Amino acid sequence: MTATLTHIPGNVSLAELEVLYWDSPAITLDPACRPGVEAAAAVIAKAAALGDPVYGINTGFGKLANTTIAPGDTTALQRNLILSHCCGVGAPLPEKIVRLIMALKLLSLGRGASGVGLELIDLLTAMLAKGITPVVPGQGSVGASGDLAPLAHMTAPMLGEGEASYQGQIMTGGAALKAAGLQHIVLGPKEGLAMINGTQVSTALALAGLFETWRCAVGAIVTGALSTDAIMGSAAPFRPEVQALRGHQGQIDVGLALRALIDGSEIREAHRSDDERVQDPYCIRCQPQVMGACLDVLRFTARTLEVEANAVTDNPLVFTEDGTIVSGGNFHAEPVALAADQIALAIAEVGAIAQRRVALLVDPAMSFGLPAFLSPNPGLNSGFMIAEVTTAALMAENKQMASPCSVDSTPTSANQEDHVSMAAHAARRLLPMAENLANIIGVELLVAAQGVEFRAPLETSKALAKVIARLREDVAPLGDDRVLAPDMAAATRLVHTESMVMSVEPAALPNL
């Protein structure tokens, strides 16, 4: 873990959110937020003392909101809320994701509109600092009213309940706190509701999917340039004048990046004249249009998720200016669900066009002189034949998973919560989809590098030569058939870690 970072609630940038995801640091909130937190908690305490029915303080929840709770039972009310909502199922979310969820919850509570006490915020901060990570099952949220079940599992260890990971071991929440020298808390009025109302699970999963997908998309621009040179494709469709006439920023950026990557290639210069082909297939020629549209979608969703990560999304909300407590609907994760659906579509499309380039390179009828399946001795050897089939399978999986989740609302909680977002699983599918995409891009890296090497003695550009050189540090060229799974895994790691992208000039590539 990196050093502890200090953040101002409501003012966390996308770049800072990336650090929270990739590095999983401990965080603290800017001390300037503490008076606002205390003021909101005082409003809640006053309402609880007066005894008038206020949702979430001295009433039941959801369909039971009309049930008034006796003053002596309000502490049990909040504890029961957490315990009863620990209904998640499925594989636990990765610790990296849970730590991001915890950080996002802190940022939301720190806005001073939730009414929680500083003791709760301080314990959550300490758990991040000491590496106590709640065990949070991944399934069970419909994305309204908040990510109830998974956030309850996140909160339970703070009460000494549930399970948590500490120093590599799974133990009860109480045992984890004790081992780390921390004490569990007793929830005050509204604190349990503030913890489980909110979109932090959906938002964390969507941010993770966004960041992983962006790495893959930028990697696909690099491998797309490599495939273009391997196929002896034309760079003319990438001219900036072509993209300017369309006007979309993503398309402009991709066109510039492709030209910069290919610039100086001897392979490109060798077929400027006397080339029998008039046009390249769309998977080569239309890269700026397809990849650019995907970049634009990812950038749009990035802005949405940046806003959501800084938002207060629990209910009711506390307004310290006039001392009011207002029930609203900020817990409804529709913005996150729609963003996740769009990210899923972008993943599917980046993978679809990359897969077609892989298929193009292994097909001797289309590859402009390259040997069948990029084997130096095809027939006796099958080369990359089945690696291409694997990319087709992964592409198909992603297409099927890209179907929108946000349109599939269903009523819950005895029809009180009659429209829900389905944001949690809309976002949760993004990580396996991004993993599929990384594998597709990894295979393209292998076949495109092999294709360029078959063009010797002609050399590719200096930028793309660096990409091949980085690959060859981990994977040798394919001669006679061998087990390819390790090669594919190594190439995929280069995509995941940005090692392939960092081998070229990063300034030539688009930024999120």
Give the residue carrying structure tokens 């990557």: 261
Tokens linked to 358: 């892989």
- Asked if residues 255 and 239 have their Cβ atoms less than 8 Å apart, the reply is yes
Distance CA 109, CA 105 (A): 6
Nearby residues of 400 by Cβ (< 8 Å), 6 or more positions away:
none
Give the Å distances, CA to CA, from 359 to 65, 128, 283, 442.
Answer: 58, 46, 10, 14
Cα 397 from Cα 388, distance rounded (Å): 14
Quick check: 407 and 488 in contact, CB under 8 A? Answer: no
1-34 exposure pattern, b = at least 16 Cβ within 10 A, e = fewer? eeeeeebebbebebebbbebbeebbbbbbeeebe
Report d(CA 489, CA 494) in Å as an integer. 9
Closest C-alpha to 166, from 136, 130, 126 = 130
Amino acid in position 88: G
Structure tokens at 331: 């817990």
Q: Which residues contact 47 (CB under 8 A, 6 or more apart)?
A: 54, 57, 189, 325
Instruction: Give catalytic residues, as residue numbers.
Output: 55
DSSP-assigned beta bridge partners for residue 503: none
CB atoms within 10 A of CB 89: 9
- The widest CA-to-CA distance across the chain, in whole angstroms, is 89
Torsion 175-176-179-185 (CA) sign: negative
H-helix or E-strand containing 90? Answer: strand 89-92
Please, what is the Cα angle at 213 between 207 and 216, to 5 degrees?
150
**292: which 2 tokens?**
């650019």
What would the two tokens of residue 97 be? Answer: 């994701």
Alpha-carbon 407 to chain mean position: 21
User: Residue type at 120?
Assistant: L
**Can you read off the two tokens belonging to residue 301?**
């969703």
Cα separation, 155 vs 71, in Å, equals: 23
The answer to whether the beta carbons of residues 488 and 443 sit under 8 Å apart is yes
Q: Is 114 helix (H, G, I), strand (E, B) or coil?
A: coil
At residue 136's C-alpha, the angle toward residues 134 and 141, to 5°, is 140
